[in-house]
Amino acid sequence: MSEQERMMQAVYTNGFAADDARLFLDTHPQSREALDYYKKKIELYKIARNRYEEKYGPISVENAAVGDRWGWAEQRWPWEGGE
C-alpha cells in the first residue's frame, strides 16, 4: 500500500467510525461514551483529511478553492489513475 493509499485509508476509517457513532447517537442520545467517541473520531477524521489534502489535493468540493484558484479539476480523476 502506498503512502497516499494509507493516508486515504485513515480518512475513510475515521470518517466511517464518526458516521457510525452519529447513527448510534440518534438512538442513544444520552450516551456520554458514544458522544466522546464521536468527538474523537471526528477530530481524527479532520486531521487525516487535512493531511491528505495538503499533500495530494482536495477530496471534497468544500476544500477545492486553493488560494485564489479553483483546484478541484487540477488533480487526476479516478479513471486517469488518481484516487
The residue segments making up the domain with residue 50 are 3-80
- Looking at residue 82, its pLDDT comes to 66
- Answer yes or no: are the C-beta atoms of 46 and 8 closer than 8 Å: no
What is the number of structural domains in the chain? 1
Which residue would you say has higher pLDDT here, 67 or 60?
A: 60
> What percent of the chain shows pLDDT beyond 70?
80
pLDDT classification of 58: cutoffs 50, 70, 90: confident
b/e 25-36 (16+ beta carbons within 10 angstroms → b): eeeeeeeeebbe
Amino acid at 57: G
Checking if the pLDDT of 83 tops 70, the result is: no
